Amino acid sequence: MESVKALAEPTAHQLDLSKISVRELNQFLHHELPKSGLHHVEILHPNGMHNLAVGVDADVEINIRGHAGYFIGGMNKQARITVHGSVGWSVAENIMSGTVRVKGNASECAGASGHGGLVVIEGNASSRCGISMKGCDIVVGGSVGHVSAFMAQAGRLVVCGDAGPGLGDSLYEAVLYVRGKIHSLGADAQEEPLQAEDIAALGELLQQAGFDANPREFKRIGSARRLYHWNSEHQGEY
């Protein structure tokens, strides 16, 4: 088996979490990295630790070599973060720009409240993936759990596998694409015809995420817009 050092590029700056604290890691990424001229950082031995590479605002590639915990890559801006393992809750929460990629699976609330950028989960994502997303793109190679894209306001969620119950509940202007089975749609979400512009945009997004899938095989889910204003006829859906 290759060692961690063999996996890391020799020119990369290495930060070993068996020797430094998470606070020291993030202080370096926030304050020293932007003026260092570094473009590649390797984080070693994450061992399920939380809050790694949070609030990064630098044009840098960051590799986290192993499994990580909650709130990884939150509030990311510019950075290209890759987790070579699985992650806990709320990966890439409130992402602003750049990319956060998870090579394994993600727990609840992946990409929650994301404003921009791209989140890629190569495995499966648990419940509430893309909750309250506000403009980011999320692409999941596997399936997503229940109530994903709840109150999603803008952006796109692409699911190459299946979607659990309550998909798109209280959906606003975000658009969802699902290749597999949909257990059920949430309040005010509806399936809509897949248009030529959807196929083109979806194909580009899949390519960016690195997935070889036919965009014509996906279903489009949008908002029926019945819940934008109070209507007594629909009060049971609120």
CA-to-CA distance for 97 and 118, rounded, in angstroms? 7
Domain range summary for the chain, segments of one domain joined by +:
105-237
Q: What is the pTM for the complete model shown?
A: 0.92
Identify the architecture of domain 105-237 in CATH.
Answer: 3 Solenoid (2.160)
The predicted pLDDT at position 234 comes to 60
Asked if 220 and 201 count as a contact pair (C-beta separation under 8 A), the reply is: no
Residue 30, classed as helix, strand or coil, is helix
Helices then strands, counting H and E runs in the chain, come out as 3, 11
Q: Among the listed ranges 5-9, 41-45, 189-193, 234-238, which one has the minimum average pLDDT value?
A: 5-9
Percent of the chain with pLDDT over 90: 88
